[in-house]
């Protein structure tokens, strides 16, 4: 959950998480009673550590939206108690073992918006975070166009492009063209 939630925060809603504190060890879910916990219970256990709760409280619920996808990215309706890896000719397949339970995709976005499924997550994300998503995309366009991360002047240009195109629904072609006509691209 944390990896998927962090990826969405970093790449989709342009709100990258902080790095975990160095003194916090990785959670080993294969030891003791932890191996019997569901992913949601395991993350709740991990959030009990005050050093971890800040980021995990924000990122874990986002990651739950992706519980319908297995480790290989295939759609699933149920989660298994454990998984094993099969390999044939360099191809890997994750196989579920043991008891199953319905995939629990309920969660909460950073602004408090609730979702109950992956489809609902996508709709809420677009409705509540469109500006953040566009800003993140524009920063990536600028990075690609200039070969460097946007600086403060580049961000001012990005904000100007976004403001100019917000009422039109942020047309992708127009916004991309604006990046290539920007001072950041032409002057640097």
Question: Is 94 in a helix, a strand, or coil?
Answer: strand
**Distance separating alpha carbons of residues 102 and 38, to the nearest angstrom:** 11
For residue 91, the SS3 value is: strand
Q: Is the pLDDT of residue 28 over 70?
A: no
Q: CA 81, 52, 44: angle at the middle one, nearest 5?
A: 35
pTM of the model: 0.77
Q: What residues contact 106, with CB distance under 8 A and at least 6 apart?
A: 64, 114, 115, 116
Residues 6+ apart with CB under 8 A from 87: 93
State how far Cα 101 lies from the chain centre.
Answer: 24
Q: What is the pLDDT of residue 43?
A: 80
DSSP states along 102-145: E----EE-TTS-EESSHHHHHHHHHHHHHHHHHHHHHHHHHHHH
DSSP secondary structure code for residue 28 in this structure? -
The span from the CA of 9 to the CA of 95, in Å, is 29
Residue 58 and residue 28: Cα distance in Å, rounded? 21
Q: How confident is the model at residue 144 (pLDDT cuts 50, 70, 90)?
A: very high
pLDDT in tens, 53-72: 888 888 888 999 999 998 77
Place of tokens 């240009």: 157
Per-residue model confidence as pLDDT tens digits over 69-123: 987 788 999 988 777 888 888 888 878 888 898 999 999 888 899 999 999 999 9
49 DSSP 8-state letter: S
């Amino acid at each position: 959950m944390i990896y998927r939630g962090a990826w969405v925060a970093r790449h989709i809603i342009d709100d990258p998480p902080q790095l975990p504190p160095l003194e916090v060890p990785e959670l080993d879910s294969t030891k003791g009673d932890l191996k019997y916990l569901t992913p949601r219970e395991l993350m709740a256990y991990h959030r009990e550590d005050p050093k971890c709760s800040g980021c995990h409280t924000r990122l874990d619920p986002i990651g739950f939206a992706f519980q319908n996808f297995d480790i290989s990215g295939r759609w699933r309706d149920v989660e298994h108690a454990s998984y094993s890896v099969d390999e044939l000719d360099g191809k890997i397949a994750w196989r579920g073992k043991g008891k199953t339970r319905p995939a629990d995709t309920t969660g909460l976005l950073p602004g408090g918006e609730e979702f109950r499924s992956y489809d609902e997550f996508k709709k809420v994300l677009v409705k509540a975070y469109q500006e953040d998503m566009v800003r993140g995309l524009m920063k990536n366009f600028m990075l690609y166009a200039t070969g460097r991360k946007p600086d403060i002047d580049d961000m001012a240009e990005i904000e100007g492009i976004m403001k100019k195109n917000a009422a039109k629904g942020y047309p992708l072609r127009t916004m991309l063209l604006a990046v290539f006509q920007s001072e950041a691209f032409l002057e640097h």
